[in-house]
Amino acid sequence: MINIVLPVDFGDKTEQLVESAIKFAKQLNGRIYLIHVAPSDIGFAIGDMGFQYFPEVEANEIREELVQLNKIEQRIIAHDIDCEHLLKQGLAKDIILEHAKEKNADYIVMGSHGRSGIYDVFVGSLTKGITKSSSIPVLVLPIHD
Give Cβ neighbours of residue 90 (< 8 Å, ≥ 6 apart): 37, 40
Enumerate residues 6+ apart whose C-beta is below 8 A from 121. Answer: none
**What is residue 118's predicted lDDT score, i.e. its pLDDT?**
46
SS3 at position 17: helix
Assess whether pLDDT exceeds 90 at residue 95.
Answer: yes
Indicate the pLDDT class of residue 142, thresholds 50, 70 and 90: confident
Residue 123 has pLDDT above 70, yes or no: no
The pLDDT of residue 124 is 42
Q: Residue 12's pLDDT band (boundaries 50, 70, 90)?
A: confident
Q: Are 142 and 112 in contact (CB under 8 A)?
A: yes
List, for residues 98-119, the tens digit of each pLDDT value: 999 999 999 999 987 655 554 4
Higher pLDDT, 125 or 68: 68
| pLDDT, position 143 | 77
- DSSP class per residue in 74-126: HHHHTTT--EEEEEEES-HHHHHHHHHHHTT-SEEEEEE----THHHHHT--H
**Contact in structure between 123 and 87 (CB atoms under 8 Å):** no
d(CA 145, CA 76): 23
The average confidence (pLDDT) of the chain is: 86
pLDDT the model gives residue 126: 87
Is pTM beyond 0.75? Reply is: yes
Q: Are 89 and 37 in contact (CB under 8 A)?
A: yes
